[in-house]
Amino acid sequence: MARKTKSAASSPSMDARVHDQVLTRGNGGELHQLATGDTPVTTTAHGVPVSDDQNSLKVGARGPVLMEDFHFREKIFHFDHERIPERVVHARGYGAHGYFEAYDVLADYTRADIFQRPGEKTPAFVRFSTVAGSKGSFDLARDVRGFAVKLYTQEGNWDLVGNNIPVFFIQDAIKFPDVIHSVKPEPDRGFPQAQSAHDNFWDFISLTPEAMHMIMWVMSDRAIPRSFRFMEGFGVHTFRLLDAEDRSTFVKFIWKPKLGLQSVVWNEAVKINGADPDFHRRDLWNAIQAGDYPEWELCVQLFDQAFADSFDFDILDPTKLIPEEIIAPVPVGRLVLDRMPDNFFAETEQVAFMTQNVPPGIDFSNDPLLQGRNFSYLDTQIKRLGSTNFTHLPINAPKCPFHHFQQDGHMAMHNPAGRANYQPNSWAAGPREDPRRGHRAFPEELEGTKSRLRPESFADHYSQARQFFNSQTVHEQRHIAMALTFELSKVETPVIRERMISHLLNIDPGLAETVADKLGITELPAPADAAVPPRDDLPASDALSIIKNGPDSFAGRKVGVLVTDGCDASLVKKVQAALEKEGALMEIVAPKVGGVTAGDGSHIGAHHMIDGGPSVLFDAVALIVSADGAERLLGEAAARDFVADAFAHCKFIAHSAEAAPLFEKAGIAADLDEGVIALDSASAITQFIESCRKLRLWSREDVVKL
Ligand code: HDD
């Protein structure tokens, strides 16, 4: 029988210490790490020290394995149970910790504790997500982004479970399973993954006119954000703020990113998904690790019953928004994300957001979507997290004192202490309710007949869709047309495509004609029947456009600099210094990841080899190459794509004179415009940075026809 020796290793290599551990080899050839110094000894989950984590307990060297091996059985048992059900929607997400800081006392509107002490920090956890894809899907799907915020206030957790789009597909929560089933992979074939471009989705949408406003948003660049850091968040529904006397003010919540709005273009998104499926999560991780903490302002649109009664649309209808030009959002505080979770599963995966988590001073409206959500979120957490005690998990537990008589259940980590676990009781023990401090619902007078009716006031499905389209720049309108064309081109059933065109005719006939033409529909269908005639008197709202709300700064963005052996190191350094001053980042892309030797003999380290650092990963690029280096790059498809894609995606391109052959090779030499900037003078770098503040040279789209 083979026996193992645990004596110190005899060969010199066996003496090597790795992180304070001794490697030793048993006579079966297997390596053992012996814990020494501060390194803890591996134990079982029950704390029993483990002697061998490399070999199961066998009869002889060649088995069989013994049932007696409790360490082996526990290890495999636990591994087999590692997965929990992924979220039925918003499965792919990424979270971060931070804090919220109120600007002013809002006691005139709400008694919510979080708004009573300006400058005080309330801990926060935020999870961003896509909706349709599975946990392992790619980040740049064309999709709504979840923007879920948990605020650990001193009067309980407040979850503002929003999206980056201020309206929703449906008006009544009873339709949620239908819209989600339609966008998920088709049940017979199990595809497509994380894509709305398929028959089932467009079939449902084209049969659901109330979705048209949201569809305009989802087909816009809002659905392909450049970064979580550059998108807005919306609470969507109308909520209520209640003051100390329970007087109500209606409110809509909006998160505005400090760094402004920015999206990518579709051709770019498709390529990013291949080059870096984790593009958004890596971006958030990198920004927070670098200390460049993302920040949003919480803004509120406040209004009273008189406004609600006079507004063009029903404020309870979640397919409608209140234009910012009608009610200006007022900033009331800021949210800063400054810490990544220690563990993705424990925090980001196990965090449970629930719309019904509201503290005293915040209340619901009768929006039927919100009311349905208030049931769904609690229910789903039990399925997902497996126990009613999911609130015992640190990420979900309140950070304020809490007292109740809920007890037992799976995985109870704390129970009420003492004899009393009910009340009233004769032991004068345990917590009691307090109508003065506790959450009170708005005392709304209500009466009505039970019915399953949709109100007439929810019937206008096209006017705000049209207003959204009219509020976009021509480039954004073009992107919407291209997105609709792409999506409907993947629909195999002609009648579904035509049904969508009939809806588009109610939104914008020009848009309908463009899409129909690109789909090869020669005869336009009749416009869809509209329950209420679409209005054309709603004025354009600049707040609805991304391009009109750019940052006017390049801060937080990233430039990819392509370098070769023999390049001008001082130029690279100058570009880097200028970017740092702007608050932007630079990453070096080189033929080899080992870097290059510059013309002055200095070494420039690279972040990416050119195949792994395509220009789609950057907001702008610079080509700082030598004549020789450029010559050698001409044969590389990745180098050609680097230049051609940057140009096609309307990015600003700075370059040394030696880069000219690369433009030839990319087929763009004849089209070079003011967005391609030669670094031939001291002021050229400034010109490059100033151009980059515009983010993209959209006028180039007329040439490249994305
Ligand atoms: Fe929802 C998750 C946002 C309508 C049912 N939803 C979920 C998440 C976000 C939203 C951001 C992810 C939370 C996280 O990161 O863990 N949902 C919205 C918004 C909606 C909306 C902005 C409309 C305004 N949702 C909605 C309806 C229902 C649900 C109408 C059901 C009736 N949503 C859920 C859910 C999820 C969820 C099934 C899945 C995972 C979870 O809750 O925790 O309960």
Residue 432, annotated as binding a ligand? no
Task: Give the Cα separation of 323 and 537 in Å (integer).
Answer: 14
Comparing 93-166+212-392 with 465-547, is the CATH topology the same?
no
Instruction: Report pLDDT digits (tens) over 166-201.
Output: 999 999 999 999 999 999 999 999 999 999 999 999
Please work out whether the CB of residue 146 comes within 6 Å of at least one atom of ligand 1: yes
DSSP state of 347: I
**Is the pLDDT reported for residue 25 higher than 80?**
no
Gap from CA of 404 to ligand 1 centroid (Å): 27
- pLDDT band at residue 506 using 50, 70 and 90 as cut-offs: very high
- Give yes or no for residue 380 CB within 6 A of ligand 1: yes
Q: Which residue's CA is the nearest one to ligand 1's atom 44? A: 377
Confidence band, pLDDT 50/70/90 cuts, at residue 293 = very high
Domain edges within the chain: 12-80, 93-166+212-392, 465-547, 554-704
How many Å separate Cα 562 from the centre of its chain?
A: 29
Question: Mean pLDDT throughout 405-422?
Answer: 94
Task: Please tell me the residue having the least CA distance from ligand 1 atom 4.
Answer: 373
Of the candidates 213, 214, 212, 218, which has an alpha carbon nearest to the alpha carbon of residue 528? 212
- Give the architecture-level CATH label for domain 465-547: Up-down Bundle (1.20)
Q: Of 90, 97, 475, 649, which one is the catalytic site residue?
A: 90
Place of tokens 């650092």: 613
Spatial contact of 298 and 331, defined as CB atoms under 8 Å apart:
yes
- The chain-wide mean pLDDT, for the chain, equals 95
Catalytic residue among 32, 71, 157, 163: 163
Q: How far is CA 564 from CA 192, 589, 614, 663, in A?
A: 41, 9, 15, 16
- Reported as a pLDDT band with limits 50, 70 and 90, residue 130 is very high
Residue written as tokens 């392992």?
136
- Per-residue pLDDT, averaged over 443-468, amounts to 97
- 458-499 residue pLDDT tens: 999 999 999 999 999 999 999 999 999 999 999 999 999 999
**Is the minimum distance from the CB of 293 to ligand 1 under 6 angstroms?**
no
Dihedral, 587, 593, 598, 601 alpha carbons, nearest 10: 130
Query: What is the number of other CB atoms lying within 10 angstroms of the CB of residue 284?
Result: 21
Our answer to whether residue 163 is catalytic in this structure is yes
Query: Tokens 């079982």, residue?
Result: 44
Are the CB atoms for 625 and 659 separated by under 8 Å?
Answer: yes
CA-based nearest residue to 545, from 308, 260, 140? 260
Q: Look at residues 649, 652, 647 and name the one whose alpha carbon lies nearest to residue 671.
A: 647
Within 10 Å of residue 522's Cβ, how many Cβ atoms? 7
Q: Indicate whether residue 355 lines ligand 1 (CB < 6 A).
A: no
Instruction: Give the residue whose CA is nearest to atom 23 of ligand 1.
Output: 168
Is the four-CA dihedral 440, 446, 448, 454 of positive or negative sign?
Answer: negative
With a CB cutoff of 8 Å and minimum separation 6, the contacts of 74 are 44, 45, 46
Average pLDDT over residues 651-669: 97
Evaluate whether 148 touches 159 at the Cβ level (below 8 Å).
Answer: yes
Q: Which segments of 289-384 are extended strands (E)?
A: 295-303, 330-339, 362-364
Q: Which residues contact 48 (CB under 8 A, 6 or more apart)?
A: 71
Are 502 and 573 within 8 A, CB to CB? no
Measure the CA–CA gap between 374 and 236, rounded to whole angstroms: 14
CATH architecture of 12-80: Irregular (4.10)
Which region, left, alpha or beta, applies to residue 693 given φ > 0 means left and ψ of -120 to 50 means alpha? alpha
The answer, yes or no, to whether residue 22 has pLDDT greater than 70, is no
- Provide the ipTM: 0.99
Q: How far is the CA of 629 from the CAs of 602, 658, 674, 706, in angstroms? A: 16, 9, 25, 30
The DSSP bridge partners found for residue 300 are 253, 330
User: What is the reported pLDDT for 28?
Assistant: 61
Q: What percent of the chain has pLDDT over 90?
A: 93
Token pair, residue 599, equals 């013309």
The pLDDT assigned to 424 comes to 94
Q: Write down the residue that tokens 């003011």 correspond to.
A: 674
Known binding residue 152? Answer is no
**Is the CB–ligand 1 distance for residue 608 below 6 Å?**
no
173 lines ligand 1 (CB under 6 A): yes
- Helix ranges (H only) for 164-265 are 176-183, 199-206, 212-218
Domain at 554-704, CATH from 3.40.50.300, 3.30.43.10, 3.40.50.880, 3.40.630.30: 3.40.50.880
Is residue 241 over pLDDT 50? yes
- pLDDT of 3 above 50: no
Q: What does the pLDDT look like over 328-347, one tens digit per residue?
A: 999 999 999 999 999 999 99
What's the CA gap between 301 and 162, in Å, rounded? 15
Q: Cα 604 to the chain's mean position, in Å?
A: 34
Mean pLDDT of the region 300-307: 98
Residue 131 C-alpha to ligand 1 middle, in angstroms?
Answer: 9
Asked if residues 97 and 123 have their Cβ atoms less than 8 Å apart, the reply is yes
* Nearest one of 643, 675, 648 to 659, comparing CA atoms: 643
> Which mutation among 174, 353, 390, 396 tests ligand 1's pocket best, with the greatest number of atoms within 8 A of CB?
353
What are the tens digits of pLDDT across the range 543-584?
999 999 989 899 999 999 999 999 999 999 999 999 999 999
Question: For ligand 1, what atom is nearest to the CA of residue 162?
Answer: 22
Which residue, by CA, sits nearest to atom 22 of ligand 1?
Answer: 162
Quick check: 89 and 170 in contact, CB under 8 A? no
Burial (CB count <10 Å: 0-12, 13-18, 19+), residue 274 = exposed
Q: Whose CA is nearest to atom 7 of ligand 1?
A: 90
- Element (DSSP H or E) covering residue 702: helix 701-704
Note the pLDDT of residue 26: 61
> pLDDT (tens digit, 9 = 90+) per residue, 374-399?
999 999 999 999 999 999 999 999 99
pLDDT on residue 705: 73
pLDDT of residue 456: 97
User: Residue 563: beta bridge partners?
Assistant: 624
Maximum Cα–Cα distance for the chain, whole Å?
91
Contact at 8 Å (CB) between 97 and 341?
Answer: yes
127 is in an annotated binding site: yes
CA–centroid distance, residue 374 to ligand 1 (Å): 10
Q: Are strands 362-364 and 248-257 parallel, antiparallel or unpaired?
A: unpaired
Any atom of ligand 1 within 6 Å of the Cβ of 163: yes
Could you tell me if the CB of 129 is within 6 A of ligand 1? yes
Residue 640: the pLDDT is 97
- State the CB neighbour count (10 A cutoff) for residue 68: 8
What value does the mean pLDDT take over residues 256-277? 98
Strands (E), 11-76: 17-18, 21-25, 31-34
**If we measure between CA atoms, which residue out of 510, 488, 485, 506 comes closest to residue 497?**
488
**In this structure, how many other beta carbons lie within 10 angstroms of the beta carbon of residue 536?**
11
Going from the Cα of 148 to the center of ligand 1, the distance in angstroms, rounded, reads 9
For residue 320 and ligand 1, the question of a CB distance below 6 A is answered with no
Q: Which of 349, 352, 325 is nearest to 539 (CA)?
A: 325
Q: Whose CA is nearest to atom 11 of ligand 1?
A: 146
| Chain segment 84-125, per-residue pLDDT in tens | 999 999 999 999 999 999 999 999 999 999 999 999 999 999
Residue 83 backbone dihedrals phi, psi, to 5 degrees: -85, 140
Does residue 89 line the site of ligand 1, with CB under 6 A?
A: yes
C-alpha–C-alpha distance, residues 499 and 207, integer Å: 8
109 assigned binding-site residue: no
Joined together, the tokens standing for residue 51 give: 């002697």
Closest CA to 162 of 368, 392, 461, 373: 373
- Residue 283 is predicted with a pLDDT of 98
Does residue 85 contact residue 350 with C-beta atoms inside 8 Å?
no
Contacts 24+ apart (CB under 8 A), 339-346: 339/96, 339/97, 339/98, 339/288, 340/96, 340/97, 340/285, 340/288, 340/289, 341/95, 341/96, 341/97, 341/395, 346/393, 346/394, 346/395
pLDDT of residue 157 exceeding 60 = yes
Please compute, for residue 532, the number of CA atoms within 13 A of its CA located in the half-sphere on the CB side.
Answer: 15
Reply yes or no on whether the pLDDT at 423 is more than 60: yes
Phi-psi region at 156: left, alpha or beta (left = phi > 0; alpha = psi -120 to 50): left
Task: Copy the structure tokens of residue 575.
Answer: 């570009």
Q: Which of 90, 357, 384 to mutate to test the pocket of ligand 1 (most atoms within 8 A of CB)?
A: 90
Give me the residues paired with residue 128 across strands.
Answer: 94, 147
Cβ-defined contacts of 288-291 (< 8 Å, 24+) = 288/96, 288/337, 288/338, 288/339, 288/340, 289/340, 290/585
Is 157 an active-site residue?
A: no
pLDDT value at residue 32: 66
CB of residue 559 inside a 6 A radius of ligand 1: no
> Which CATH fold topology does 93-166+212-392 show?
Catalase HpII,  Chain A, domain 1 (2.40.180)
Instruction: State residue 154's pLDDT score.
Output: 98
Q: From CA 514, how far away is CA 83, in angstroms rounded?
A: 47
282 labeled part of a ligand binding site? no
377 is in an annotated binding site: yes
Residue 629 CA to ligand 1 center (angstroms) comes to 52
Look up tokens 């395509």; give the residue: 614
Higher pLDDT, 17 or 293: 293
Query: What would the two tokens of residue 118 be?
Result: 């300006």
Q: What pLDDT is attached to residue 342?
A: 98
